[in-house]
Structure formats: C-alpha cells, structure tokens
Structure 1
C-alpha cells in the first residue's frame, strides 16, 4: 500500500510501514530538527512533503491508501496541562487532518487511517473527547477499531499507547485488532528482543530486558546476575515504603526526584516510558548510575543503529536526539500493525 506520514517526527511510522512492505508517498513535519533526521534516515528524495499541516490543501496531497498520524499529545497526556482534545491548540490538529479528508472526493480518500496517541485519550474529559474523535471519523465515512498496546511486548520499555484504525466504508479493508501475544522463544543468537510473526502478531518479550546482540538492545538494560548475593541500591520513591530496590541492569527514571506522588521510578530489567528529556539511567556493574546514551534510547524505540547513525552524522545534538526518541512511536509496534493491513 501507499501511505502518507503526517506529524512524521523522525519516521517511526515510516520505518515500521516500510518494513511491512508499504511505500511512503508523502510526509509532513514542522520541526526543523526532526525534518533533518527524517531526511537523513529515509529515502525521500523527490517524495512530496510539507512542513505545516495547517497550510496543506487537499488537492496537493498524493493519492494514498493509508494516512498515518500520531497527532500532538501535549494537551492530552497526563504529563501535560490536559486542556483536552478539542480545546488544546496542538491536539486539535486532529481536526485539521479530518478537514483535509472532508475536502477530498470519496474515491480519493485513504482506505485506512492509522492513528496513535497516549492512553489518556481514552479517559480525558471523562471519555467525551474520545467519543468526539469517533463521531468525527464516523461523519467522514470511517468505521473504527482500537487497541492499547504496550511496547514491552517487543522491546524492553513499558510504553502504552492507543492505536486507532479507521476503515473507509465501502472499501474491502482487513480488520487489524486484536494483535495477539504469542510469547515465542527466540533463538540465542537472535539480535532483537522478541519476534514479530508473519501474521502481524506480537511475538512477546519472553525474557524482558535480555540482550541478544550489541546491535540490538543496550547491554546495560538487561543484566541478570546468577548465584551469590546480587548488588543492589535503594532509590528514593514516592511509595509507603519510601524507596525501591534497583539491581544491576535496572533502569532508574529521575525526571522528578523530589516528587511526593510519583511511582515507578525503577524499572526492573525494563525501562519505564521514555520522555523527551534525558532522565533515564541504569545501574552499572560497579554500582554507578549513568544516563542512557542517545543510541540506547533510539534502540528502546526499535530503531536500528544505522538510522541513529544517519541522524547523528546529520549534525543533530544529543539533546535533540533524546527528544526525538521520546517523541517517536515504537517501530516494531507499527510493523506489527502494518503487517495486518491490506486491501482485499
């Protein structure tokens, strides 16, 4: 299928869709640093693109079978001000996309919509915002299905996101969800965490945090010591106990070190949800706490090392590379969904 990548970031949708055999025919991204990475990573020479979705006209868009977009979540996320889906200036850009669809003749509309956002979209404003989203998609001719997927099924990072698939009525599109976790055991020399089965199912992360190769997941995220007393440190945490135990290879989120309410500061053999700032660390074998590198953060989003190296060589600073990893979708999750999408 042909797809357009909107709110493209560094191209997590692009890479996952491409790995499933689909072709990018257009992309939209306003952030100049994300555009810099996107163009370095992906083969987009001669491919239609725009920098601001608000200035795009429907008749400019190339014909595509699927539009992919993870519209801005700052007004929805529990980490933001939660102005809501329609009141927030950034998250309301969803309606800019649906407005473009309204301006297209039915035969020119995409058969699929693949939409991603934070889990809180389901519950913000007591669920009314999610209802408005469904009503809007219904009005422009799309039946919807959705599922909350955790990246921990395929990589060592807990990252729950809602994925919404819109099906244009009258087109023969394939149902996507549920995507079933099979919990397959990979071979010892497999250079990734988990497998994706040909049917598009999650192939589980049976040993969360285990390392299968240095070009896969960062070794410091997965060490499990056997025999004897394992070294450990106490990390202050806003729980009744007041602390959590971190062992070698665990991750520590120190984004709010003085919080009286925040929980989940230690990830046991797995990272908590990454953010756009460099606030994730790991406990090393010499009992030092060090920050994850930008490369490790990109790996936690399922990007291959060559993609990171292309962005790095394009002149991106470490702060931008951290931000881009935190803003991205998880590539193997997109591929698992994309494997299930075709026109029948």
Structure 2
C-alpha cells in the first residue's frame, strides 16, 4: 500500500465529502474505476468518513448530480489493453483509446480546470503534478501503453519566441516545463510498458536545430524502445489545419529488435472536411465581435499587410477548413472567425471548438445525447482547453494501428 502522509489529517476533518482534497478524490475515483490494489488506500480514506457504501453513494450524488459521467470506457476485464494518460488535458487520448476498447488505469493532469472537465466526462479525478513522487507512487506497476501530449510550450514556435522576448530559457533549459519529458522517460524506464504514444507540436522536430528532438529520440532509444515519428495534419479528420508531431515506440524486449510503427497503415477518411458541418445554427449573440474589436482586427491586419507580413484575422469559408485553434482563442478569436450576414463576424462557441477537435457533441456531430462531451467550465477555460487539445479522431487512427501490433504477438 502507498504511504500517504496526509492520511493522518483526515482524522481531524469533519465527516464530509466536501472536505476531501484533490489527491484524495483522485485516489477514490481511481479505485472505483479500476479496483487496483495500488489505490486501496481509498478504503482507509473512506473509513474515516463513514460506512463505505453510503460514502460512495454520497460521492456519486455530490460529484454527479446529473447522473454518471458519459465516457467510462470498457468494464474491468472486458478491455483489450490498458493504458495510462499523462499530461491528460481533457482526455483526448483517453477517449480515442477507449474507443478502441482500451481501459485507462491512471491519469494525471496538473491544471485544476482541466481536471474538472476530465472528471465530468470520465468519472475520474486525475492525479496532479507528475513530478511528485507521491503521485508517481500511484501509477500501477503494469500497463500496456503510456500515452500523453507532454507540454509543448517549451518547444512551440510561439512559446520559444515569447520566452526569448522575456529573456527566459526554453527547450530543456526550461526547468519547470521542458524537463517534464524526463519524468515521462523515467516512468517508461521503471514500468516498461509495451508501447508509448506521444504527441507534441510540429516545431518539436526542428527546435534548437534539431537538438531537442535528438535528445528525446536518443533518450527513448536507450531505453530499448523503437522510435518512429511523423508530422500529421488533423485536417483529414476534422475541418482544421493542425499539424502535430506524433511519436510511437515499442518495447523491443516484448516485440523484438525489428519492431517499428508504420504510419502508412493509417486509415485516412475519404470525405473532405467542411467547417460548416460543426457550426451551430443560432449561437448566442455574445460570440459576435464588438465593433471595437472588429475594427481593431481589421486595422491590425491592414497594418501588417502593408509591411508584407501575414498576420491578420482568419475568416473561414463554410466549405473549407479553419486555421489552427490556439489556447489564446478567447483573447479575440482572430485565427478563426465566422462571417455573419449583416453583422460582425463571431467566434466559435465552446461547443463548436469541441467538435472542431473531434469530440462528440450533441447535436452537432453525434445523435447520442448520453455520450456527448460535457463542458463544465467557463468559456475562457473551455477555449484554453480545446486550444491545447489533441485532434481526437487522429489519435484514434494512430492508436488503431498501434494496438493491431498487440494482436500479432
């Protein structure tokens, strides 16, 4: 059983579910969803609050006032493989791999608002800071796939430019973010999963003249894993131009020395993606740009056009695709604006942003209202979360090829 130093403090707490902290909720919800012994501390936490069945019922009623979370995944024992979800965000990897009959046995996400969205959709509170030894101690000993979109800001074009302008370091010199990759590598080295499945920004490959990427590659190769990567564009799966670096590696101790991942086996949809397929018919007027903001964006674009720069707003064409949505979309929505007859353009709604990243959202792109992505946070946080997300159907397409390798062993 894990040693949990805060456990003794529970004795001083009132007999109330609301007094459980984030770590306690993570332990309890992981135990409920996985029944793994690594989370059995849940039972001791529960015992401090009252009789187990009534406490679990109270947790369910408090945390799910409208019923169960919509995306629990396969039942214990019915799964084809297991995985852990690191740097989980709002669960794009989780939803994609659950669609392939995978079962998540551990999740970790640092941002408290993303934790709320993750919990609302998967019924599980993610653990927090993955650099913490306490958090790492709850990772199950065995699982099949380690997946995650490790933080991209230290390697992104925008992130690097911002850090340079502020006189800050970037890449692996960024202590807080850049070195998170090495925590990921440490977990791979300790638990030896059959495979890893990672996502990052396009610029990862070229950052620091390729040195950053070479460090990542050599680190993973030295762990005796294969290493294959490709920059893929989400525009074939959703109506959005979004290029991201996908990295897949297999444990050579399990698959043999000649193992590799063949990106040519991905199934690419034949149907052309159209942004009007995810637009809502009657959006709230609050998403329409004010005269002040619209005038500012037009003047800004005009100024940069005169200088020969490409900066400016992006008005979509209904039968086309959008630019890449970013975490700053709430600021002015300039990268993706929807033209409107007789009035200023508007931003995408948070629901449209969800659909733009491939999440099922009733009634936009799914007829199943019981399996529709839940957005429990403010518009500002929702825009940030979807701007940071993976393209879920692209992840599912790569995942499908990955797990097929398991079937051949």
TM-score (structure 2 length as normaliser): 0.63
Deviation at residue 60 of structure 1 after TM alignment: 3.2
CA RMSD of aligned residues (A): 2.9
Query: Which residue of 288, 297, 305 corresponds with 2:361?
Result: 305
Which structure has greater strand proportion?
1
Quickly say closer, same or farther: Cα 1:72–1:267, change in 2 above 3 A.
same
Contact 1:111 1:168 in 2 (8 A): yes
Query: Which fold has the larger relative contact order, with Cα–Cα distance below 8 Å and residues 6 or more apart in sequence?
Result: 1
1:267–1:237 CA distance, 2 compared to 1 (3 A): farther
Equivalent residue number for residue 108 of structure 2: 28
Task: Decide whether the 8 Å contact of 2:195 with 2:251 is kept in 1.
Answer: yes
The 3 A distance-change label for structure 1 pair 30 and 144 is same
Q: Does 1:54 align with 2:131?
A: yes
Give the 5 Å matches for 1:1-344.
1-44=81-124, 49-56=126-133, 60-62=138-140, 63-81=142-160, 83-88=169-174, 89-102=176-189, 104=190, 108-172=191-255, 175-179=260-264, 200-209=266-275, 211=277, 217-218=278-279, 242=305, 260-262=309-311, 265-268=314-317, 269-277=320-328, 278=330, 279=333, 280-286=336-342, 288-305=344-361, 311-312=374-375, 314=376, 316-342=377-403, 343=406, 344=409
Structure 2: state its 5+ residue gaps. Answer: 1-80, 162-168, 282-296, 363-369
**In structure 2, what is the Cα distance between the partners aligned to 1:33 and 1:136?**
32
State how many pairs are aligned: 284
1:225-283 Cα distance to aligned partner (Å, 9 max, x none): xxxxxxxxx9678699939xxxxxxxxxxxxxx99452673444211000112213210
- Structure 1, gaps ≥5 residues long: 181-199, 212-216, 221-233, 244-257
Of Structure 1 and Structure 2, which has the larger fraction of its residues in helix?
2
Contact 1:10–1:38 (Cα < 8 Å) also in 2: yes
- TM-score between the two structures when normalised by the length of structure 1: 0.74
Distance in 2 between residues matched to 1:322 and 1:138, nearest whole Å = 36
SS of the equivalent of 1:311 reads coil
**Bigger Rg, which one:** 2
Q: Aligned in 2, Cα 1:119/1:263: closer, same or farther, shift over 3 Å?
A: farther
- How far 1:176 sits from its partner (Å)? 3.7
How far off is 1:308 after superposition?
9.8
Q: Decide whether aligned partners of structure 1 residues 87 and 43 sit closer, same or farther in structure 2, where only a CA change above 3 A counts.
A: same
Q: For the residues of structure 1 that align with 2:119 and 2:234, how far apart are their CA atoms?
A: 25
